[in-house]
Chain A
């Protein structure tokens, strides 16, 4: 009698655990998609303040994305980025936003930040097929040139994941 009860409880537990293990992660994993792209941009730099210790600049650039993946999310998307950059001694921090637009004209807004040598981005808004997008990524610079007095250009590789509700 006791073993039978234990068996029933164990079976029910296993069934519930299986349900949880199978359904919950499957639902969330199905939505998370990886992306890996190289983006390049060029644009204008304005200096708000500069002395031997501190520099504060703004930058506005326009560029394009080339996907490094076979399924090519964001391939040929163009973007417009606006950031502010603060350098104090050897420490540089940056905060900004970019608008990424695909070939259909649907777009994604993302926040970008740099600090402690890390470049990160976070999607927080989308339109059309990108409505409700969330996700984030980390970037590494491939090339960067500052061309005095007023322009700069760069390419970076960004790897991350994004989630679209209901997909």
Chain B
């Protein structure tokens, strides 16, 4: 009687744990995107700016799984706030050499950027996940109306097969 009860509990625990495991495994990624951006200033007054950004660049993976290595990076967005610390919102698209791509929503102040995958095509169809991002390189603008920099992205993704 006791053994049956233990066996029943064990089977139940096993089933519960199996059901709790998602069908897709969360895959970590860690990459650096470097880009040059054009800035369209909408307003600038008392040290507060409203602007649009259009960025293009390329990705180097920092992770051994090399996810997103050699993908192109494109971003469009807007920002508002004090110089050097605006709050931004926008979308980025990262594209594989085979033209499959992932689109993500990107938001936050430079010190606490976060992103969430919204859509994928080709091998990235059904992608979900997201993570955090931080600026790792920024310099003096090399040409008027432009900015150059690098951002490091870390997080996980799920791909439902």
Contacts and interface: CB of A to CB of B under 8 A. Distances in A.
A79 B59 CA distance: 18
Contact of B34 (A43, A64, A99): A64
Contacts of A143: 58-60, 69-70
Main secondary structure of the interface of B (DSSP, over half): strand
Contact of A145 (B72, B140, B150): B72
Contacts of A63: 34, 36, 148
A85 interface: no
A30 B56 CA distance: 40
Contacts of B148: 41, 62-64, 78-79
Nearest to B74: A147
Interface string A83-107: 0000000000000000101110100
Nearest to B57: A42
B84 interface: no
Nearest to A145: B72
A80 B73 CA distance: 19
Interface in A7-65: 38, 40-43, 61-65
A78 B150 CA distance: 11
A77 B139 contact: yes
Contact of B139 (A64, A99, A153): A64
A77 B139 CA distance: 6
Given A61-B36, A102-B140, A147-B72, A153 B60 contact: no
Contacts of A61: 36
Interface of A: 38, 40-43, 61-66, 75-80, 99, 101-103, 105, 142-145, 147, 151, 153-155
Interface of B: 34-36, 56-60, 69-73, 95, 97, 136-143, 146, 148-150
